[in-house]
C-alpha cells in the first residue's frame, strides 16, 4: 500500500480500500466510495473518519455542574453547530489528534449539515458569543497559514484589519473587530445543562432524538452508523488506522492510563467519575486540541539551536497569542492617545479600550465592580501598593503580619521592610516536607494581634496549591485582612474573588498570556476608598489647591500619571482568549498533563522531585544527581527546551526543602505530552 510523507496510508490507497470494501457490502449499501461532502451521509461519515477531516473537538459542549466543580475534563459532543461531525481526540500518543476541517465546504448558515437541506427545528438566533470571533466555526485561527477571507461568508470580520475606525465613546463604542479578539477555534464552551448519561447534540434537530444511535460516548461512533450491518467492520478498520497531526512525532510513547499507585492523588481529578482510555491524556478525555492551540502562538514556531522551541518556563512568563499581538498593534495604529478629559476622537477610543479592559478583568476575577480593579505594573508593584498605602496608614508598632513559607520574595520583602520601619512582628506559616501548608500551625499563629495575612494561592517554586478559601476564612475570624498573591494561579484555574473573600488579590498580566508591564490589584471597594493613595500626580485628583488636595475614589486614586494604557488593553485581549478556551477546560487539561509529566519524571534515575504536595499546578521542580542545575538547564537548552534554573525568587522555601536551587519546568495549556517526552529524553540521555 502506498504511503504519504508521514508513513501513513495515502488518501488514494485508503479510497481504493474503501471502494473494495463497499462493493462487498449488502445491496442497499453504497457501491462507490467518494470524498464528496455532498454524497451519502454514511459515506461522508466514513470518509471523514478515515481522512481525519472534520474530526474536531465540539465547540459547544454542555457540561455537568458537578464535573466542572471537580475540575473534570469536558466530554465531547458528536456534532457542532456548523454540521461538522465531531469525535474525541483519537489515537495520537502525543496530544489531541489533528483536526483539519474542510474549509471549502463549511456552510454559510450556522446549524446546517453538509449535504443536507434542513435547518435546526428551533428558530433560535445564532450568537457568535459562543464561538471565537475570528472565522467562527471554520476551525481557522487568525494566526494560521490557512487563514484568509474565507470568513466572509459567515459575516464575521477576519481580525483587526479594518480600514475604518469610527466607533468610540463619541460615536458608539470600540470597533467591532476589536472587542472579541478571537481565540483558538478549538475551545469548548461550557454550559450548565449537560447530563453525562443523556448527552445531546449541540444543535437542536427534530429529526434526531436522544435515543438516536451514534450519540453515546464512543470514540468511533458517528451519527447514522450504528444502525448499519457493516458498521462493526468499519469500526475494526478505523481502530487500525493511525491518523495524527503532521507535526506530531508518531514514534513517541502513547498515553498510558497512569496507575493510581504511581501518581499523586490530585484533588482536581475524580477518577471514578470518568472513563479511562489509553487513547486519552493520562486516561482522561480533555476538551481541546493543544496542537491547534499552539498555532495561535507565533513564538512557538521558533527554533532554538536548530530544534523546535519547547517552552517550559511558563511560571516565569507565558507566551502571547497572535490576538494579543494584533490588539496591541491595532491600539497603536488606530487608538493611541492619553486617556480621559479630552474632546478628540482618539482620546475617546483609547479611554474606551482602557476601561473595557478593566471590565474584562472584573468579570475574569468575579469582582463586584470595575471600581475594584486597579492597573499597576505587575504583582510586585501590586503588593507594594498595599503595603505602602494601607499598611503604612493602618498598621502600628506591635501589630502582626503573617506570611507563608511558600512565598515569592515579592510577598516577603515589602512586609519585612514595613515591619522594620514600623516595629511590626512578622510570622511565618510552616509547611511539611511535601511543601503543604500546615493548617494547625497556621491556626496557632492567628491572634487578636494579627492584622494582615498575605499568602500565595500557588507556589511559584513548588507548584503547591494552598487551601486559600479556608485560610482566608480563618484570618477573617481572627479579625485580620487578607492579601492573596494570584500571580501563579490565574492562568491555571478559575478564580472568583467574591467566593474567595480576599480583601486584596493581585496578579501579573504576563503570567496570563498578556503583555509585560501590566498587573492588577483587586481590592474591596470600601477598603480601597478608605485607603490613602500611595503615589501623587495627575489623573488621581479631583481638585488641587496649595491648601488642600481632593482625591478621586478608586480606582483612579491609585493610578497616578499616565498608566500603561496599551498593555492594559492587551491584557483584556489575553483574558478574552483564555475565557473562550474556558478556565475549567484549561484546569482539567493542564492537571492531566501534570500527572503525565510527574509520572515520567519520577522514573528518571537520579531525579529528586522538590515539592510533592497532593494539590499542585503547573510546576515540576527537581534536581538531577551528578549534575548541577545550571548544567541540566544548558543541556536542555541545547535541545531547544526552555526551563528555569536558580532559586526562583523563593529562597526560604527552597532552603526549607534542603536545596539552594532547582531545575523548574512549568506547564501551560499549549504544552503537550510530546514536550514532556522531549524533556524526559534529554534527562535520560544524561543518566546512561
Assign 38 a pLDDT band (cuts: 50, 70, 90): very low
C-alpha to C-alpha distance for 510 and 49, rounded to whole angstroms: 40
Residue (of 293, 216, 285) closest to 74 by Cα position: 285
- If you average pLDDT over residues 385-409, what whole number do you get? 98
Angle between helices 565-581 and 322-334 (to 10 degrees): 150
Which of 16-30, 76-90, 527-541 is predicted with the least confidence, judged by mean pLDDT?
A: 76-90
Which band of pLDDT confidence, cut at 50, 70 and 90, is reported for residue 322?
A: very high
Asked whether residue 236 carries a pLDDT value surpassing 80, the answer given is: no
| Confidence band, pLDDT 50/70/90 cuts, at residue 341 | confident
Strand partners, 191: 62
Q: Is the dihedral of CA 100, 105, 111, 117 positive or negative?
A: negative
Q: Using CA atoms, how far apart are residues 676 and 688, in angstroms rounded to an integer?
A: 19
Q: Is the pLDDT of residue 143 over 60?
A: no
For residue 172, give the C-alpha cell. Answer: 458608539
Q: What pLDDT is attached to residue 615?
A: 95
Cis link prior to 687 (omega < 30° from 0)?
Answer: no
Give the integer Cα–Cα distance in Å for 498 and 375. Answer: 19
Residue 572 to residue 678: CA distance in whole angstroms: 33
CA pair distance 676, 355, nearest whole angstrom: 40
Confidence of residue 151 (pLDDT cuts 50, 70, 90): very low
Looking at the predicted structure, is the pLDDT value of residue 641 above 60? yes
- Could you count the other beta carbons within 10 Å of the beta carbon of residue 165? 18
Q: What's the rounded mean pLDDT across residues 320-334?
A: 98
Lowest model confidence (mean pLDDT) among 282-291, 435-444, 476-485? 282-291
Burial of 416 from C-beta contacts in 10 A (0-12 / 13-18 / 19+): middle
pLDDT for 13: 74
CA distance 585 to 353: 28
- Measured CA to CA, the distance from residue 629 to residue 111 in angstroms comes to 54
199-212 burial: b if 16+ Cβ within 10 Å, else e? bbbbbebeebeeeb
Euclidean distance between CA atoms 438 and 429, whole angstroms: 7
pLDDT of 676 higher than 70: yes
Q: In the structure grid, which three cell numbers stand for residue 334, read together? A: 488606530
Chain segment 15-25, per-residue pLDDT in tens: 777 777 666 66
What confidence category does residue 661 fall into, taking pLDDT thresholds of 50, 70 and 90?
very high
pLDDT tens-place string over residues 434-463: 999 999 999 999 999 999 999 999 999 999
Domains and CATH numbers, the chain: 11-49 (no CATH), 290-312+582-686 (3.90.1150.10), 325-580 (3.40.640.10)
pLDDT at 145 over 60: no
- Mean pLDDT, to the nearest integer, of 469-491? 99
Distance CA(63)–CA(587), nearest Å, equals 14
Instruction: Give the cell for residue 379.
Output: 504583582
Q: Is the pLDDT of residue 533 over 70?
A: yes
How buried is 85 (Cβ within 10 angstroms: 0-12 exposed, 13-18 middle, 19+ buried)? buried
Predicted pLDDT at 286 = 54
Give the mean pLDDT of 641-658: 98
Kindly report the CA angle at 449 between 479 and 417, in degrees rounded to 5? 105
Note if 673 is an active site residue. Answer: no
The helix-helix angle for 629-638 and 673-685 (nearest 10°) equals 120
pLDDT at 159 exceeding the cut of 90:
no
Question: How high is the pLDDT of residue 53?
Answer: 40
How many alpha carbons lie under 13 Å from residue 614 in its C-beta half-sphere? Answer: 8
The residue-averaged pLDDT of 312-333 equals 98
pLDDT at 229: 44
Task: Label residue 6 by pLDDT band (50, 70, 90).
Answer: low
Helices (H), 290-391: 290-294, 322-334, 345-365, 379-386
Q: Which of 70, 179, 635, 649 is catalytic?
A: 649
Q: Count CB atoms within 10 A of the CB of residue 269.
A: 22
Residue, of 70 and 22, whose pLDDT is higher:
22
pLDDT higher than threshold 50 for residue 464: yes
Q: How many CA atoms lie within 13 A of 250 on its CB side?
A: 14
Highest mean pLDDT: which of 31-45, 227-241, 515-529?
515-529
pLDDT at 276 over 60: no
**Span 562-586, average pLDDT:** 97
- Whether 497 has a pLDDT exceeding 90, the answer reads yes
Average pLDDT of 366-394? 98
- DSSP 3-state assignment of 422? helix
Percent of the chain clearing pLDDT 90 (strictly above): 56
Closest CA to 674 of 609, 593, 599: 593
With a CB cutoff of 8 Å and minimum separation 6, the contacts of 105 are: 37, 114
pLDDT at 132 over 90: no
β pairing state of 481-485 and 504-508: parallel
Name the CA dihedral angle for 220, 221, 226, 231, rounded to a multiple of 10 degrees. Answer: -20
State residue 624's pLDDT score. 98
Residue 262 has pLDDT above 90, yes or no: no
Lowest mean pLDDT segment, chosen from 281-295, 349-363, 374-388: 281-295
Mean pLDDT of the chain: 73
As a whole number, mean pLDDT of residues 532-551 equals 93
Which pLDDT band holds residue 499 (cuts at 50, 70, 90)? very high
Mean pLDDT for 143-149 is 39
Please calculate the CA angle 497-499-504 and round it to the nearest 5 degrees. 30
In 3D space, the residue among 184, 73, 188, 248 whose CA is nearest the CA of residue 673 turns out to be 248
- The label of the residue with cell 494561579 reads 489
518 pLDDT more than 70: yes
CB contact set of 285 (below 8 Å; sequence gap of 6+): 73, 75, 76, 88, 89, 274, 275, 277
pLDDT at 176: 35
Residue 295 to residue 297: CA distance in whole angstroms: 5
Place of cell 496599551: 566
Mean pLDDT score, 204-219: 36
**Is the predicted pLDDT of residue 545 greater than 80, yes or no?**
yes
Say what the pLDDT of residue 248 is: 34
User: Does the structure show a pLDDT above 60 at 570?
Assistant: yes
What mean pLDDT comes out for the span 510-517?
A: 98
More confident position, 117 or 537 = 537
Query: According to the model, what pLDDT value does residue 406 have?
Result: 99
The predicted structure's pLDDT at residue 57: 37
pLDDT band at 4 (very low <50, low <70, confident <90, very high): low
Distant-in-sequence, close-in-space partners of 393: CB < 8 Å, separation ≥ 6: 531, 532
Q: CA 143, CA 146: separation in Å to the nearest integer?
A: 8
How long is the chain?
A: 688
Bigger pLDDT: 213 or 391? 391
Amino acid at each position: 500500500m502506498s504511503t504519504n510523507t508521514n508513513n501513513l496510508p495515502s488518501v488514494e490507497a485508503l479510497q481504493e480500500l474503501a471502494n473494495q470494501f463497499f462493493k462487498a457490502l449488502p445491496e442497499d449499501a453504497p457501491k462507490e466510495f467518494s470524498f464528496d461532502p455532498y454524497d451519502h451521509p454514511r459515506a461522508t461519515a466514513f470518509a471523514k473518519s478515515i481522512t481525519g477531516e472534520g474530526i474536531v473537538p465540539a465547540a459547544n459542549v454542555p457540561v455537568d455542574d458537578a464535573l466542572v466543580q471537580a475540575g473534570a475534563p469536558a466530554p465531547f459532543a458528536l456534532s457542532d453547530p456548523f454540521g461538522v461531525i465531531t469525535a474525541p481526540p483519537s489515537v495520537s500518543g502525543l496530544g489531541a489528534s489533528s483536526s483539519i476541517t474542510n474549509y471549502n465546504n463549511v456552510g454559510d448558515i450556522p446549524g446546517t449539515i453538509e449535504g443536507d437541506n434542513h435547518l435546526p427545528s428551533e428558530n433560535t438566533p445564532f450568537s457568535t458569543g459562543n464561538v471565537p470571533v475570528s472565522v467562527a466555526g471554520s476551525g481557522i485561527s487568525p494566526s494560521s497559514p490557512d487563514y484568509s477571507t474565507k470568513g466572509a461568508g459567515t459575516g464575521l470580520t477576519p481580525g483587526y484589519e479594518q480600514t475604518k475606525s469610527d466607533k468610540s465613546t463619541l460615536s458608539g463604542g470600540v470597533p467591532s473587530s476589536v472587542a472579541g479578539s478571537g481565540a483558538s477555534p478549538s475551545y469548548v464552551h461550557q454550559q450548565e445543562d449537560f447530563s453525562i448519561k443523556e448527552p445531546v447534540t449541540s444543535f437542536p434537530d427534530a429529526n434526531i432524538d436522544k435515543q438516536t444511535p451514534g450519540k453515546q460516548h464512543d470514540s468511533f461512533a458517528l451519527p447514522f452508523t450504528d444502525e448499519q450491518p457493516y458498521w462493526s467492520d468499519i469500526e475494526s478498520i478505523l481502530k487500525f488506522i493511525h491518523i495524527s497531526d503532521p507535526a506530531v512525532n508518531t514514534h513517541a510513547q502513547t498515553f498510558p492510563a497512569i496507575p493510581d499507585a504511581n501518581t499523586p492523588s490530585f484533588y482536581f481529578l475524580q477518577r471514578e467519575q470518568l472513563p479511562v482510555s489509553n487513547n486519552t491524556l493520562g486516561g482522561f478525555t480533555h476538551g481541546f486540541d493543544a496542537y491547534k492551540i499552539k498555532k495561535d502562538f507565533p513564538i512557538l514556531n521558533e527554533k532554538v539551536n536548530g530544534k523546535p522551541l519547547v517552552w517550559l518556563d511558563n511560571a516565569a512568563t507565558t507566551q502571547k497569542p497572535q490576538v494579543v499581538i494584533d490588539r496591541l498593534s491595532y491600539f497603536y495604529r488606530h487608538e493611541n492617545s492619553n486617556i480621559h478629559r479630552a474632546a478628540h476622537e482618539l482620546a475617546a477610543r483609547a479611554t474606551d479600550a482602557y476601561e473595557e479592559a478593566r471590565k474584562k478583568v472584573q468579570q475574569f476575577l468575579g469582582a463586584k465592580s470595575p471600581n475594584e480593579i486597579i492597573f499597576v505594573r505587575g504583582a510586585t508593584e501590586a503588593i507594594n501598593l498595599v503595603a505602602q498605602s494601607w499598611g503604612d496608614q493602618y498598621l502600628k508598632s506591635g501589630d502582626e503580619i503573617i506570611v507563608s513559607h511558600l512565598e515569592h520574595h515579592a510577598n516577603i520583602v515589602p512586609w519585612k521592610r514595613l515591619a522594620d520601619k514600623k516595629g511590626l512582628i512578622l510570622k511565618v506559616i510552616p509547611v511539611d516536607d511535601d511543601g503543604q501548608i500546615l493548617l494547625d500551625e497556621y491556626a496557632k499563629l492567628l491572634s487578636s494581634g494579627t492584622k494582615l495575612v498575605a499568602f500565595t494561592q500557588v507556589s511559584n517554586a513548588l507548584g503547591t496549591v494552598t487551601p486559600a478559601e479556608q485560610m482566608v476564612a480563618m484570618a477573617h475570624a481572627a479579625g485580620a485582612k487578607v492579601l492573596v498573591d494570584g500571580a501563579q494561579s490565574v492562568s491555571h484555574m478559575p478564580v472568583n474573588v467574591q467566593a474567595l473573600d480576599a480583601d486584596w488579590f493581585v496578579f501579573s498580566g504576563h503570567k496570563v498570556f498578556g503583555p509585560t508591564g501590566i498587573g492588577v490589584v483587586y481590592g474591596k471597594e470600601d477598603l480601597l476608598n478608605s485607603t490613602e493613595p500611595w503615589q501623587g500626580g495627575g489623573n488621581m485628583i479631583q481638585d488641587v489647591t496649595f491648601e488642600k488636595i481632593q482625591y478621586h475614589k478608586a480606582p483612579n486614586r491609585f493610578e497616578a500619571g499616565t498608566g500603561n494604557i496599551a498593555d492594559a488593553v492587551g491584557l483584556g485581549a489575553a483574558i478574552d482568549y483564555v475565557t473562550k478556551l474556558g478556565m475549567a477546560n484549561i484546569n482539567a487539561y493542564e492537571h492531566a498533563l501534570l500527572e503525565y509529566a510527574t509520572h515520567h519524571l519520577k522514573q528518571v534515575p537520579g531525579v529528586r522531585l522538590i515539592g510533592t504536595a497532593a494539590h499542585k499546578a503547573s510546576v515540576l521542580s527537581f534536581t538531577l544527581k551528578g549534575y548541577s542545575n545550571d548544567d541540566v538547564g544548558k543541556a536542555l537548552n541545547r535541545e531547544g527546551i526552555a526551563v528555569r534554573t536558580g532559586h526562583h525568587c523563593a529562597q526560604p522555601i527552597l532552603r526549607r526543602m534542603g536545596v539552594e536551587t532547582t531545575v523548574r519546568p512549568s506547564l501551560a495549556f499549549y504544552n503537550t505530552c510530546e514536550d514532556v517526552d522531549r524533556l524526559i529524553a534529554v534527562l535520560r540521555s544524561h543518566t546512561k
